[in-house]
Amino acid sequence: MIYVTGDLHGERAQIKTYIEALSAGDILLIAGDFGLPWWPRQTARHFKDDKLLKLLSEAPFTTCYVDGNHENFDMLKKFPLEEKWGSMVQNVHGIFHLMRGELYTIEGHKVFTFGGATSTDQEYRTPRISWWPQEVCSEEERAHAIKTLEACNWAVDYVITHTAPLQFKPVYAHTLLGRDMPCLTANFLSEICPKLSYKRWFFGHFHDDTSHDGLKARLIYDDIIPLEGNE
Ligand SMILES: [Fe+2]
């Protein structure tokens, strides 16, 4: 079975929940803000990250994630690329980073992924310590996504992103609490959304669980739900 869940933020308690909920052979897709590894190697706290990554990589299920805005992108870029599910992933100690603008065929399902978002709490963060400019998609990543979608005639089964197209505002507006910041990634997703055929679009970032059948959209956070069967 393939399951989807939301922002992990490197939380040990949430990893324990995954281990209780999932069975051997399952695949877990996380909709951004994985948050591991976070602490640089020269700090004592990187040991905590290593332990959590080991816990996940040794679990009998496979963990994959799209990147969010709370990732240490300088550390992430050092992990090797490899081919998996017909596209490119980064292997992060046996956990797979699903990259921006890729289309994976996972157990027969075409899954398009595009991570990243603008941090709404940037003013409280320190560049290259707790905030990285790579959180926002580049022109190259956007062009790659368009090329990928053109190659499949804009028809996929599922979409996993961190932030959401602006068309999905009815799904997440209640979470904004006055922090509605402009986001280049959301703007790009808004451009591709009307052209794209999909069964369900899962996104995280807004830290709540809300579904919208009309928009075929699912904001996901704590819930761990099957990829299929929500349409
Ligand atoms: Fe988050």
Beta-bridged to residue 110, according to DSSP, are 105
**H or E stretch at 110:** strand 109-114
Distance 124 CA to ligand 1 centre (A): 15
Distance 209 CA to ligand 1 centre (A): 13
Distance 163 CA to ligand 1 centre (A): 10
The model's pLDDT over 104-163, given as tens digits with 9 standing for 90+, comes to: 999 999 999 999 999 988 888 999 989 999 999 999 999 999 999 999 999 999 999 999
Distance 125 CA to ligand 1 centre (A): 14
Domains of the chain: 2-226 (3.60.21)
CB under 8 Å to 34, separation ≥6 — which residues?
A: 8, 10, 65, 67, 68, 71, 95, 97
**Per-residue pLDDT band at 201 (split at 50, 70, 90):** very high
Give the model's pLDDT for residue 17. 96
Given its phi and psi angles, is residue 118 left (phi above 0), alpha (psi -120 to 50 degrees) or beta?
beta
Amino acid code (one letter) for 146: I
Structural Rg of the chain based on CA atoms = 16
Transcribe 139-171 into DSSP letters.
Answer: HHHHHHHHHHHHHTTTB-SEEEESS--GGGHHH
Mean pLDDT, the chain, whole residue set: 95
**Per-residue pLDDT band at 45 (split at 50, 70, 90):** confident
Give the model's pLDDT for residue 43. 80
Beta-bridged to residue 109, according to DSSP, are 106
Distance 152 CA to ligand 1 centre (A): 30
Distance 180 CA to ligand 1 centre (A): 15
Distance 150 CA to ligand 1 centre (A): 30
**Per-residue pLDDT band at 181 (split at 50, 70, 90):** confident
Distance 187 CA to ligand 1 centre (A): 19
Distance 36 CA to ligand 1 centre (A): 13
Distance 171 CA to ligand 1 centre (A): 16
**Which of these ranges, 6-10, 46-50, 88-92, 158-162, has the smallest mean pLDDT?**
46-50
Three-class secondary structure of residue 101 per DSSP: coil
The tokens describing 97, both together, are: 């980073």
Distance 202 CA to ligand 1 centre (A): 14
Q: CA 172, CA 180: separation in Å to the nearest integer?
A: 11
**Per-residue pLDDT band at 41 (split at 50, 70, 90):** confident
CB under 8 Å to 19, separation ≥6 — which residues?
A: 55, 59
Strand order in the sheet with 225-226: 81-84, 87-92, 95-98, 62-66, 27-30, 2-5, 225-226
The model's pLDDT over 21-35, given as tens digits with 9 standing for 90+, comes to: 999 999 999 999 999
